Amino acid sequence: MSQHPSDAPAAASRGVLTTANGNPVDNNQTSMTAGEYGPVVLQDFHLIDKLAHFDRERIPERVVHAKGAGAHGYFEVTKDISHLTCAQFLSRVGKRTPVFTRFSTVGGEQGSADTARDPRGFSVKFYTEEGNWDMVGNNTPVFFIRDPIKFPDFIHTQKRHPQTHLPDATMMWDFWSLVPESLHQVTILMSDRGIPDGYRHMHGYSSHSLKLVAKDGSYKYVKWHFRTEQGIKNVLPDEAARLAGTDPNYATRDLFNAIERGEHPAWRVYVQVIEPEQALKYRFNPFDVTKVVSQKDFPLHEVGRMVLNRNPENYFAEVEQAAFCPSHMVPGIAPSPDRMLQGRLFSYADTHRHRLGANYHQIPINRPLSGVNNHQRDGAMAINGNGGAAPNYEPNSFGGPAQNGLPAQTHARNFVAQGEVTRHTYDVTDDDFAQAGDLFNLFSEEQKTRLATVIAGSLSQTPVFIQKRQLKHFYRADKDYGRRVEAALRAADSKI
Ligand code: HEM
């Protein structure tokens, strides 16, 4: 299997080797020493600079979604939705917009196995003529929690134990059993859908609702769906475990090689459209990301097609430094009140400033093709000319960029928020279990058995009181679901 497009060392230019400041290097194999047997001298700048740069090669990995693969491609509008949004890149059928997409696992570190049982990240950066829109979704339409205040705690349970430094089933099930709205996503995770066969054979979802805003300021809520044209394929647990040992980069390799072979993966893109009045009247809070809104109530409308047709030239430059952010939106796309989304609007740009620096948006992979024109200046690694001699404040009397003066309609007219500012809690209700039960009932006999076995394999490693607490949730979702997990726990020697 090919590792590199040409199966040969990259054909770099054969010019003279230089230091980072451009001085020609006379010898790249021998350090400068005081005498043949003497110590290395500090004046060997080439050696010192080479080691010092190497010492700094690693940047902090993403706090979540650290392991990933990415590719370039395009998005093409296939159906007119210009009545729903004034976003220019969606303005006419046939219009193409360049994209960069990154897929990832969530919990593991950069070197972790691609076949982990984990949701998969599905991020798309659209380089539009009005700046970038980042669709930062997952391969699942729901999430484990519905309030961003729980996210750091949740992620701690998915990472390593503070003492043993091991993944820890007790932390996971303790949290999930105490946060039962997680059951829907837990059911997806523990089912066959929990281990997609690479990145090409899975759907992508915005999961949250966003707003689409028309020219006149009217808006609708939409959920984005990217449906794989390659078909859904999953890996069964034994094969996933084998691959984790023999080919931990299975999904990364599969994506890269498919694109090199000219098999360009593609996704059909749809939206579910929800009128604001329907959202207010819906039978549960449609902004609760632990639930799907039914496609019977809100069918899919085709919008376009995404094709990935070009591999990155350099992994670090393009994939590792890619900075996706749900708050990067273009006019005509706006956030919904989904609390989780609202938390994410802050968190991503914040982590990018930490991971890549205050000028992360100047890195080529993140730079909007349409240009940036503002009064932000300075900071580490300001590499875009830093505004030259132009004024660095506004308003000013000496030229420079100014606001476009258009009405704020692209933010949605008549979107009114009011009410007491307090911590409005969600009560746990039967609705929090119903969709997990419905999903369970979609599975075949074989899939149900496998689901119960996978759950029991992990849950049986936890204290009995946690097993009992979680078991009640399975029963509440569906009696048969509960019975099967209970039987599988007993078969796994649980003392339940
Ligand atoms: C990555 C925070 C929920 C999808 C990240 C990163 C942070 C983060 C800090 C690392 C970004 C980076 O270093 O570049 C949060 C918070 C959440 C949340 C605070 C909840 C309040 C979600 C949800 C989804 C999601 C619900 C999917 C619908 C992703 C994806 C990435 C990511 C796909 C990887 C982006 C990439 O490819 O670089 N998240 N996240 N996250 N998150 Fe979230």
Over the stretch 339-367, which tens digit does the pLDDT of each residue have? 999 999 999 999 999 999 999 999 999 99
Token pair, residue 313, equals 């030239």
- Look at residue 7 in the predicted model and tell me its pLDDT: 47
- Work out the pLDDT band at 11, boundaries 50, 70, 90: low
Q: How confident is the model at residue 400 (pLDDT cuts 50, 70, 90)?
A: confident
Give me the pLDDT at residue 13, please.
66
**What average pLDDT does range 70-90 have in this prediction?**
98
Measured from the CA of 147, which atom of ligand 1 is nearest?
Answer: 21
The closest residue, in CA terms, to atom 30 on ligand 1 is: 121
pLDDT of residue 406: 78
Long-range contacts, stretch 5-10, CB < 8 angstroms, 24+ apart: 5/260, 5/311
Phi, psi of 101 (to 5 degrees): -120, 135
pLDDT at 354: 97
Neighbours of 159 (CB within 10 A): 17
Pocket test for ligand 1, best of 67, 125, 150, 348 (most atoms within 8 A of CB): 348
pLDDT at site 25:
95
Which percentage of the chain shows pLDDT scores above 70? 97
- Going from the Cα of 352 to the center of ligand 1, the distance in angstroms, rounded, reads 11
Which strand (E) or helix (H) includes residue 127?
A: strand 120-128
Banded model confidence at residue 414, pLDDT cuts 50, 70, 90: confident
Whether the predicted pLDDT of 2 surpasses 70: no
User: From ligand 1's centre to the CA of 431, what distance in Å?
Assistant: 26
- Give the pLDDT confidence score for residue 4 in this predicted structure: 47
The catalytic residues are 65, 138
For position 12, what pLDDT does the model report? 57
- Note the pLDDT of residue 225: 98
Answer yes or no: are the C-beta atoms of 186 and 196 closer than 8 Å.
Answer: no
Å from CA of 271 to ligand 1 middle: 21
| Omega before 98 within 30 of 0, i.e. cis | no
Distance, CA 242 to ligand 1 centroid (Å)? Answer: 28
Average pLDDT over residues 270-287: 96
Grouping H, G, I as helix, E, B as strand and the rest as coil, residue 474 is helix
If you average pLDDT over residues 180-199, what whole number do you get?
A: 98
- Residue 364: its pLDDT value, please? 98
Atom of ligand 1 minimally distant from the CA of 322: 38
Q: Average pLDDT in the 176-197 region?
A: 98
Residue 419, pLDDT above cutoff 60: yes
Q: Burial of 368 by CB count in 10 Å (0-12 exposed, 13-18 middle, 19+ buried)? A: middle
Question: What is the average per-residue pLDDT within 371-376?
Answer: 94
Burial 212-237 (b: 16+ CB within 10 A, else e): bbbeebbbbbbbbbbbbebeeebbeb
If one residue of 347, 353, 354, 361 were mutated to test the ligand 1 pocket, choosing by the most ligand atoms within 8 A of its CB, it would be: 347
Question: If you search the block for the tokens 């980069």, which residue do you land on?
Answer: 249
- The average confidence (pLDDT) of the chain is 95
**Residues within 6 Å of ligand 1 by CB:** 62-65, 68, 102, 104, 121-123, 136-138, 143, 148, 151, 207, 289, 322-324, 340, 343-344, 347-348, 351-352, 355
pLDDT of 5 above 50:
no
